[in-house]
Chains A and B, each alone.
Chain A
Amino acid sequence: MTKLKLALAGGLSAVALFATANAALAAGELHIFNWGEYTNPALIAKFEKAYDVKVTVDEYDSNETMLAKVRAGHSGYDIVVPGDYAVKIMIEEGLLAETRPNEMPNFKNIEARFVDVYWDAGRNYTTPWTHGLTTFAVNTDAYKGPADSIALLFDPPEELKGRIAMLDDMVSIIHAAERYVGVPRCTSDREELKKVYDALMKAKPYWRTYSVDSINKLVSGEADVAQTWSGSAVVVRQQLASVKFALTKEVMEAFSDNVAVLKDAPNLENAKLFQNFVMDPENAALTSDFAGYANAIKGSAAFFSADLKAAPELNVPADAATEFVPPCSAEVTALYNAMWTELRR
């Protein structure tokens, strides 16, 4: 028993030591909470060196996980990287600090079309991190046919039935169905919703998995088509050349992730420095190279690696239609929920 007590005392003092060690270093810190595999270590090292700040990076898997933690208050994080709709929610709920990126020196580098965005008009809170598309990728070794329509997910040829991996993402999948049947996003019209529902239920047996790593199923040979994000497709293509990201004739879903500072950020000034830092073309290129996504900084492409410069996933033709989708109303979301549960039961 005494041995147990000794061990316990040792364990507790180790924990206490950790807690105090964390507190002692509090000057010159920055705590970043970002999506998984999204932060280039080289970017962080460069920032640490430039401003003599110790940076920690933790990672999350969905906007909702991040929101749950931030809403509870005093999360200890300075920077989060919410997706476009999440930025809107966080501003409405007063979770973000109004850091006025539009007055920062590097603000001049932002592409004009990324200034007046629906989630942060005029950029009073956030700076752009990356943006990309959500469509699908095919393994051209297994499927040689055309891949230019979202119909491939909903009405696939015989050889692809049961060989499709979807994202574990209610909103993306239902919006895809809306595009397939040709109705507006977030429609509350019952007739139109019925069409969406029928398309989903018809496609249900064709879809083999729902997961955040859908693209990995192409690599492991468990699927030949995967609903996925453009950046994931870039990273996978670099390792498996037969993976091709589809640019569809239907309007394509676009998303944008943004660098935001929390209202209760312990290191507000360092966080502002970081917001300005990521608007530098060379720094933005570090992020794009690492994550495989485009960014909204003018002149950044000049610093891309050769592969990324030529990447078909990023060089979207000028006539291709893309859209950012604001969040749907609570009533529509409730209907989405019911369909989603039936799809996954």
Chain B
Amino acid sequence: MAAIVNHRTSTAGSGLSLAAPAIVLAVVLGCIPLAFVVVYSLLTPASFGGVEWVASANAYRSLLFRKDLFSEELVFSPDHLMIFGRSVLLALATTVLCFAVGFPTAAYMASRSPRARKWWVLAITIPFWTSLLVRTLALMLIIGDQGLINGLLIRSGLINAPVAMLYTDFAVLLGLLYSFLPFMVLPLLSSLEKLDPRLLEAGADLYASRWRIALQIVLPNIRPGIAAGCLLVFVPALGSYVVPLILGGGRSMMAGDLIALQFGTSRNWPLGSAESVVLVLFVALAFALSNLVRRRAA
């Protein structure tokens, strides 16, 4: 034990130098945007994008209130709550769906030989070597009013008029599931690959059913992979904007769309920054919660 402690102190320095490049890059290109939004959220919008250096808390106020059209009074406006609420719900649903589909898939992949596994990883990745936009357009060809599914259903006589799937929350969820599935599968797979097979043997020897093995032995032992996968799905899904914009038809925005809008045609950078700060706080909250859960579990 003493030897290990000794070892730890002697190499901590060289270890940090290995990690330094990644940390420096993150500090430069991660902290700058963060500082940027915090500062900009407290300024006044310039007329056509950008900011004027006049301090103001208006951006935060307009997250919850807006000027009434008749009087100068501030009235409560639920717009932001609705958009952020929808984003959190959709991101959560995406995470759950990705896990429900991704866990069995990753577990099956892990059960293949290392050689076959390599091909499976490739097979999961290849569809993503086309542009996100193009994949999303392809999904539209399938679920559109005159798309493949409606075409088949109508031709088979099951329905007379097309079912509206495109431009609904269903379409957005489908698009997000599609976009983020590998972000769940690959981290799960890395954890599963390192799972000690003897654990499963022991379970089987005790006559545990296959489902019990999967749920009670495998799942608790791949917690790092689950945490990584959920994070890689939830966080980008929360801020995503191309998929909801195209598949949702731009009708019910998500937080990412809203922020992009403020920096784009709405030309309100401080409001966009304030919305970003809120989004970052949501993510921090998710981090803290997942940490808490992990510690409880351990």
Contact = CB atoms under 8 A, between A and B. Distances in A.
B67 A335 contact: yes
Contacts of B258: 341
Interface residues on B, range: 35 or more
Contacts of B249: 208-211
17 contacts: A68-B49, A168-B245, A190-B70, A194-B69, A209-B251, A222-B167, A329-B47, A330-B45, A333-B47, A334-B45, A337-B266, A337-B268, A338-B62, A341-B80, A341-B258, A344-B251, A344-B253
B281 to A, nearest CB: 20
A338 B77 contact: yes
B190 to A, nearest CB: 18
Contact of B144 (A67, A89, A222): A222
Contacts of A333: 47, 267
Contact of A64 (B66, B77, B145, B267): B267
Given A65-B264, A330-B45, A337-B271, A345 B82 contact: yes
Interface in A59-76: 62, 64-65, 67-68, 71
Interface of B: 45, 47-50, 62, 66-67, 69-70, 77, 79-80, 82-83, 140, 144-146, 166-167, 245-246, 249-253, 257-258, 261, 263-268, 271
Nearest to A222: B145
Given A64-B49, A330-B45, A193 B144 contact: no
A208 B49 contact: no
B49 A342 contact: no
B79 A168 contact: no
A330 B47 contact: yes
Interface residues on A, range: 35 or more
A334 B266 CA distance: 9
Contacts of B250: 168, 209-211, 344
A82 to B, nearest CB: 11
B253 A345 contact: yes
Contacts of B70: 190, 194
A337 to B, nearest CB: 5
Contacts of A208: 167, 249, 251
B296 to A, nearest CB: 36
Interface of A: 62, 64-65, 67-68, 71, 86, 89, 168-171, 190, 193-194, 197, 207-211, 220-222, 327, 329-330, 333-335, 337-338, 340-342, 344-345
A342 B79 contact: yes
Nearest to A90: B48
Contacts of A65: 264
A341 B79 contact: yes
B49 A67 contact: yes
Given A344-B253, A345-B83, 4 more contacts: A168-B245, A209-B167, A327-B47, A342-B79
Given A168-B250, A340-B266, A342-B79, A211 B49 contact: no
A64 B267 CA distance: 8
A208 B268 CA distance: 26
Given A211-B245, A327-B48, A333-B267, A220 B251 contact: no
A62 B264 contact: yes
Contacts of B83: 341, 345
Given A67-B48, A171-B265, A209-B167, A338 B251 contact: no
A156 B223 CA distance: 55
Contacts of A327: 47-48
A279 to B, nearest CB: 27
A21 B80 CA distance: 48
A45 B65 CA distance: 54
A108 to B, nearest CB: 33
A342 B49 CA distance: 21
Contacts of A338: 62, 66-67, 77, 79
